[in-house]
Each structure stands twice: as C-alpha cells, then as structure tokens.
Amino acid sequence: MDILSLDFLSALITIVFIDLILAGDNAIVIGLAARKLPKDQQKKAVIWGTVGAVGIRAIATVLVVYLLNIPWLMLAGGILLLWIAYKLLVDNEEHGNITAGNTLWQSVRTIIIADAAMGLDNVIAVAGAAHGSVPLVLLGLIISIPIVVWGSTLFIKLINKLPWIVYVGSGVLAYTAAKMITHEMKLEEFFNSNPAFEWSFMILIVIVIIVAGLWKNSSRSRAAGMEKSRETH
C-alpha cells in the first residue's frame, strides 16, 4: 500500500479512530491500576504501562496481520470483530477486578497484563483495517500512544455527554469487519465480480449491528424502568 495514497490515509484514519473508540477500557485499567500510587508516580505508571502495553499489542497485531493471510481466517476475524462491534454498544462490563498496585512497577505490570488480556478487540480491528500493511499497523499504533495516555480519559467524558459517538465507533468496527469478510481470499473473487453486492453487503452489516445494539439497549432500558416501577409500588 502506497504511503501517499488515499487508501493508506483512509486506512490510517480508520486505525486511529478504532484506537480512540476502544481506548476507554485502557483509560479505566490505567486509572484503576495506578490509583494507590503517590501523585508523582502515577504519571510514570501511566507512561510506562502504556508503552509496554502498546509494545505487546504491536507485536500481537503484526502476528495477526500475517495470520490473516491463511485461508478463512480473514472471515473468522471479520465475524469475531462483528461480535466486538455489537458488544461495544451493549456491554456494561465492570472493571472492579483490576487490582491497584502498591509500587510503580506493580502498577506497570498490572496495566500491561490487563491490557494484553483485554486487547483482542483492538488487535483484530487494527489488523483488519490495515489489510496486510505492517508499516500501517506500526504507524497507527505509534499515533495511538498519546491518544491512550492523554486522550482516552477525555474521550470517556465526551462519550458520556454524546452517547451517539459509541454508535459511530461501532459502525466503523462493523464496516471494518464487513471489509475483512469481503477481502477473504476464498470469497474475494465473488465480491470483486459484484461491486454493487459488496457495497450493499457492507452497508447492511453496519445497519444490522447498529439496529441490534439500539434494540438491545432500548429493551434493557424498558426492563429497568419496569423494575424500578415495581419497586416504587
């Protein structure tokens, strides 16, 4: 992929956006792991923990980029990423099991281990968006470091004020997943011979994921409202 091409630039923007929309978990993990440290050590824990986590994530993403060249793995990765896009909309997972470290290096270790365990979504999404370009993966991850360190906590506040941003992010993930499926080497010839069908398929996938998330969240809200009404009566 030519670095100066529109395809490279659009893929890079997609990767940075994916890093940003999925950075909320990183910010929560970092904050929880470093919360017991003195103020002067918290910044060091954030920086070193993030650098270590991003380093491991870069290696994992590059490996996944090569693995996606194996037949049917691009399809499997796309389906898994669709599930991740849906979970982004409906998951209310708590992070209370993240243990705060009492020393700087305990906190750094906690951040790296927790991020590695939780980073599968990011790895698959970035590898899929990169379409086999290792330089693109590395450049996107380098750009994501300051995003995770300084921008993710601000982004959480922004999402709380503008919840629709999560739906935009989920739509981007769903689009990336659909593109991975259409670029599966065993299916690529079929989709390439039917460009209209390919675009219709990708648009349909995005709509299905967002509508499914909206339906699940509205059902949950109605159930919570009914439960609250029963408690007051």
Residues 6+ apart with CB under 8 A from 23: 144, 147, 148, 151, 152, 155
Give the model confidence (pLDDT) of 144-173 as tens digits: 666 666 655 565 566 667 778 888 888 888
pLDDT digit string, tens, across residues 10-55: 888 888 777 777 666 666 666 667 767 787 787 788 778 777 877 8
**In sequence order, what are the residues at sequence separation of 6 or more whose Cβ sits closer than 8 angstroms to the Cβ of residue 143?**
12, 15, 16, 19
pLDDT top residue among 2 and 190: 190
Q: Could you read off the pLDDT of 52-107 as tens digits, one per residue?
A: 877 887 888 888 888 878 888 888 888 988 988 888 788 655 555 555 567 778 77
pLDDT of residue 29: 65
Is 80 exceeded by the pLDDT of residue 120?
Answer: no
* pLDDT value at residue 31: 66
Name 171's Cβ contacts closer than 8 Å, sequence gap at least 6: 85, 206, 209, 210
Q: Is pLDDT at 134 greater than 80 in this prediction?
A: yes
Of 14, 5, 10, 33, residue with least CA distance to 144: 14
Summarize the confidence of residues 107-125 as an average pLDDT.
Answer: 72
Is pLDDT at 186 greater than 70 in this prediction?
yes
The answer to whether residue 1 scores a pLDDT higher than 60 is: no
- pLDDT of the residue at 206: 95
Cα–Cα distance between 148 and 67 in angstroms, integer?
26
pLDDT at 209: 95
d(CA 90, CA 208): 14
Q: Give the separation between CA 16 and CA 177, rounded to whole angstroms.
A: 16
Any idea what DSSP says for residue 151?
Answer: I
Top pLDDT among 171 and 2 is at 171
